[in-house]
Structure 1
Amino acid sequence: MNKNIWMGLCVAGTLTLSGCTTIADMAGADTATLNAAASQGFNKTVQEANSNKTLDTSSATYKRIYAVFNRLKPVADQYNQTGTRFDWQLAVLKSDQVNAYVAPGGKVVFYTGIVNKLNLTDAEIAAIMGHEMTHALEEHSKQKIGAQALTDIALGIGLSAAGVGQTGTAAAQLGSQIGVGLPYSRSLESQADQGGLMLMARAGYNPQAAITLWEKMNKLDGKGGATFLSTHPSNTQRIDAMRKNLPAAQAIYIQRK
């Protein structure tokens, strides 16, 4: 197959799982490697936050985020089809940044600013948590790496022995980079939105909160933006898509009550 066509299919999402993830494996970014690198990066993040006293382990905001995290973990484990058990971990950082992200293998980072500035309810925190957990469960970072590798091929860089080594080094740095880099594709974001709705509903949180969350994000964006929106684009089409998926999630939520 022509390499440009192959890349286009992958980026478009048509062959995301069977195409981009396979290329990521070839580039030295297999699941085990990514998860290990993410774990190292997460541990470094926690150590640095602890040393500069920005690691939150006791505030009311931390306790709320941690309670949501613990409630969603067993549900997320039920959805895990990666073949690898996740060691879910959470770090809450004291910061005015409106941000949250996840690294491969279930390493979640929340900034207190996203809760406090948006005055989030527990259900809205669950909407963010479910969204981020879905990114990890669907191995979206791996798919991004595969898509980038294919872009390199199309540009003539190729997957030579040296290229694989360089990509492997980049993967080793992923723990500190994932979630704060370029945005996910629209198809991956939509997948995370839908999966997040289902996760929060099964955990007993009203999925309607996902709509109010993104409405708050849009309002904040109009006042100068949020770091979270640089990697998780918010728009009317996105909210409309979530509204279409809401009845199925709502049915799960009502059934669980």
Structure 2
Amino acid sequence: MNKNILLGLCAASAMTLSGCTTIADIAGADTATLNATATQGFNKTVQEANSNKTLDTSSTTYKRVYAVFNKLKPYADQMNQTSSRFDWQLAVLKSDQVNAYVAPGGKVVFYTGIVNKLNLTDAEIAAIMGHEMVHALEEHSKQKIGAQALTDIALGVGLSAAGVGQMGTAAAQLGSQIGVGLPYSRSLESRADQGGLMLMARAGYNPQAAITLWEKMGKMSGSGNGATFLSTHPSNTQRIEAMRKNLPAAQQIYNQRR
């Protein structure tokens, strides 16, 4: 498509999130393509983890993460306003890496290190799970791809699908190819924080745990013992304060379930 036409579309969209999503569609990163790409990459990640014996399907950590995942799924489905029904799937990988992410279409990857090193409670696991599920439900990866496409146009780089459809051979490659291996914008992180609070509260987890989770993340960041998760979800006092402002609404939902 002619670059001038695309620039006109950008101007018409006034650079909104929906505008970025539209540009992603034009770039070939539409919802169906992204979800299919994520499914292929997730399946490959699971196969490789199974073959090298890093796929966790039986430990206490796995059982806890899986239980939280199952408890949140029906409420996540209620929040789904995309054009596609999600086939939620979970892979727990045996690794000391402090990380977790979600791929488009509801493919969640958790590393045992994030649970064990941070000594997470079930509610804190739910805070991470809810946050990541909202990233998927609001198609934040798609919006990042659209935003990058806009940047490329402005710089005269040219528009491409940026690797969509070309599968990697590891979990990290899966993340980078579909936009979840790079930091989200502050606004997208804020939306995932707020939506995650509501999601975990609806599922019966005390949203106060989101605060203690990010306090733990902050201590890990300050100790110099870096976590991969923090490279894409930076922790700071402003983030925690913003979550505190959203706590009353989430707490009310949680209290109604008790």
Q: Same fold (TM over 0.5)?
A: yes
Q: TM-score, normalised to structure 2's length?
A: 0.90
RMSD: 2.0
Deviation at 1:8, TM superposition (A): 11
Q: 1:228 is aligned with what amino acid?
A: F
CA distance in 1 between counterparts of 2:180 and 2:188 reads 16
Q: Counterpart of 2:105?
A: 105
5+ unaligned residues in a row in structure 2: which ranges?
Answer: 168-172
Deviation at 1:7, TM superposition (A): 11
CA distance in 1 between counterparts of 2:49 and 2:186 reads 32
Q: 2:222 is aligned with what amino acid?
A: G
CA distance in 2 between counterparts of 1:94 and 1:28 reads 34
Q: Counterpart of 1:239?
A: 240
Deviation at 1:256, TM superposition (A): 1.2
- Give the conservation status (yes or no) of the 8 Å contact 2:98–2:113: yes
Q: 1:152 is aligned with what amino acid?
A: D
CA distance in 2 between counterparts of 1:113 and 1:169 reads 29
Q: Counterpart of 2:114?
A: 114
What's the secondary structure of 2:110's corresponding residue? Answer: strand
CA distance in 1 between counterparts of 2:30 and 2:189 reads 21
CA distance in 2 between counterparts of 1:128 and 1:7 reads 36
Residues 158, 6 of structure 1: CA spacing in aligned structure 2 closer, same or farther, 3 A cutoff?
farther
CA distance in 2 between counterparts of 1:26 and 1:180 reads 20
Verify: 1:170 aligned to 2:171, yes or no: no
What's the secondary structure of 2:90's corresponding residue? Answer: strand
Write the mapping of 1:44-123 to structure 2, written as runs, cut at 5 A: 44-123=44-123
Q: TM-score, normalised to structure 1's length?
A: 0.91
Deviation at 1:171, TM superposition (A): 4.9
Q: 4+ residue runs of structure 1 moved beyond 6 angstroms?
A: none
Write the mapping of 1:1-257 to structure 2, written as runs, cut at 5 A: 3=7, 6=11, 10=15, 15-17=16-18, 19-159=19-159, 163=160, 167=161, 169-173=163-167, 175-177=174-176, 178=178, 181-224=181-224, 225-257=226-258
- Give the conservation status (yes or no) of the 8 Å contact 2:81–2:137: yes
What's the secondary structure of 1:90's corresponding residue? Answer: strand
What's the secondary structure of 2:219's corresponding residue? Answer: helix
- Give the conservation status (yes or no) of the 8 Å contact 1:100–1:110: yes
Q: Counterpart of 2:170?
A: none
Deviation at 1:180, TM superposition (A): 5.3
Q: 2:150 is aligned with what amino acid?
A: L
CA distance in 2 between counterparts of 1:154 and 1:246 reads 39
- Give the conservation status (yes or no) of the 8 Å contact 1:42–1:176: no
CA distance in 2 between counterparts of 1:156 and 1:6 reads 16
What's the secondary structure of 2:234's corresponding residue? Answer: coil
CA distance in 2 between counterparts of 1:7 and 1:96 reads 46
Deviation at 1:83, TM superposition (A): 1.9
Aligned residues: 246
- Give the conservation status (yes or no) of the 8 Å contact 1:37–1:171: yes
Deviation at 1:156, TM superposition (A): 1.1
- Give the conservation status (yes or no) of the 8 Å contact 1:132–1:192: yes
- Give the conservation status (yes or no) of the 8 Å contact 2:17–2:143: yes
Superimposed CA distance per residue, residues 186-223 of structure 1 (whole angstroms, 9 cap, x where no aligned partner): 00000000000000000000000000000000001112
- Give the conservation status (yes or no) of the 8 Å contact 1:28–1:171: no
Q: 2:218 is aligned with what amino acid?
A: N
CA distance in 2 between counterparts of 1:134 and 1:171 reads 23
- Give the conservation status (yes or no) of the 8 Å contact 2:145–2:179: no
Q: 2:181 is aligned with what amino acid?
A: G
Residues 115, 43 of structure 1: CA spacing in aligned structure 2 closer, same or farther, 3 A cutoff?
same
Residues 191, 171 of structure 1: CA spacing in aligned structure 2 closer, same or farther, 3 A cutoff?
farther
- The higher-RCO structure (CA 8 Å, 6+ apart) is 1
CA distance in 1 between counterparts of 2:214 and 2:248 reads 17
